[in-house]
């Protein structure tokens, strides 16, 4: 009540503060552990995801990140080879059919013949073939899509112009600002 002295009133507030501190530290620790587990898993996946290429006349096994322009990439459908770079199919094709649904949404397999371009991000679903790598990283089709999705500064449109913000993005930004102002005023 009014005017009374309370010698132990601070205990309730301190207990709440300690509880919040413990929850924050435990949550941060769990998130930290998950982040490193994800990094280890990604690294392990990248190390086991290898392709056979012919480089300087020698057949070698390399990870997707080590493939360079000019390599001859050997793919077959037995291991459902995902194509990590843009390529041009060389002969002889062994009835090579590609699943391009990741790029086009089309579920039908596309038959490829020598001279056809095989885009990165597609998968060999039937047959096998050898192809020469013509584009890797942000210069490949999948790399350009990834750069646009993640709004990478590495990607510049083919005309040399950065994309404008879409009307939906601008409306959502304005709505978020309005919600923030209303929340600030109510607080």
The pLDDT tens digits for 48-70 are 778 888 889 899 988 888 889 99
Mean pLDDT within 28-48? 88
pLDDT, position 19: 95
pLDDT, position 17: 93
Reply yes or no on whether the pLDDT at 166 is more than 60.
Answer: yes
Which residues fall within 8 angstroms of residue 52, CB to CB, at 6 or more apart? 59, 60, 61, 73, 74
**How much is the pTM?**
0.58
pLDDT, position 159: 47
Could you give the C-alpha distances from 129 to 74, 78, 126, in angstroms and in order? 6, 12, 10
Q: What is the pLDDT of residues 68-88, one digit of tens each?
A: 999 998 888 776 678 888 999
And the tokens for 149?
Answer: 């999705």
Q: Give the strand pairing for 123-135 and 50-55.
A: unpaired
Reply yes or no on whether the pLDDT at 184 is more than 90.
Answer: no
DSSP state of 82: B
And the tokens for 35?
Answer: 């982040």
Which residues fall within 8 angstroms of residue 155, CB to CB, at 6 or more apart? 138, 144, 147, 148
Looking at every residue in the chain, the average pLDDT score rounds to: 83
DSSP state of 165: P
**Residue 62, helix vs strand vs coil:** strand
- Which stretch of DSSP H or E encloses residue 32? helix 10-48
Among 60-64, 167-171, 181-185, the range scoring the smallest mean pLDDT is: 167-171
Between CA 12 and CA 121 the distance in angstroms is 58
Mean pLDDT within 90-101? 80
The answer to whether residues 126 and 97 touch, using CB atoms and an 8 Å cutoff, is: yes
**Residue 76, helix vs strand vs coil:** strand
């Amino acid at each position: 009540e009014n005017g009374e002295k309370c010698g132990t009133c601070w205990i309730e507030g301190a207990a709440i503060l300690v509880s919040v501190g413990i929850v924050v530290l435990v949550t941060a620790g769990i998130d930290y552990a998950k982040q490193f587990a994800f990094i280890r898993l990604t690294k392990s996946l990248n190390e086991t995801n290898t392709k056979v290429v012919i480089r300087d006349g020698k057949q070698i096994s390399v990870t997707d990140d080590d493939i360079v322009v000019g390599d001859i990439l050997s793919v077959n459908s037995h291991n459902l080879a995902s194509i990590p770079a843009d390529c041009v199919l060389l002969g002889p094709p062994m009835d090579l059919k590609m699943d391009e649904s990741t790029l086009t949404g089309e579920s039908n397999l596309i038959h490829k013949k020598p001279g056809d371009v095989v885009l990165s991000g597609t998968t060999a679903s039937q047959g096998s073939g050898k192809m020469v790598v013509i584009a890797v990283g942000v210069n490949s089709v999948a790399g350009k899509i990834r750069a646009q999705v993640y709004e990478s500064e590495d990607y510049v449109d083919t005309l040399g112009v950065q994309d404008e913000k879409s009307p939906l993005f601008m409306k959502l930004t304005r709505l978020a600002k309005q919600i923030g102002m209303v929340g600030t005023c109510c607080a």
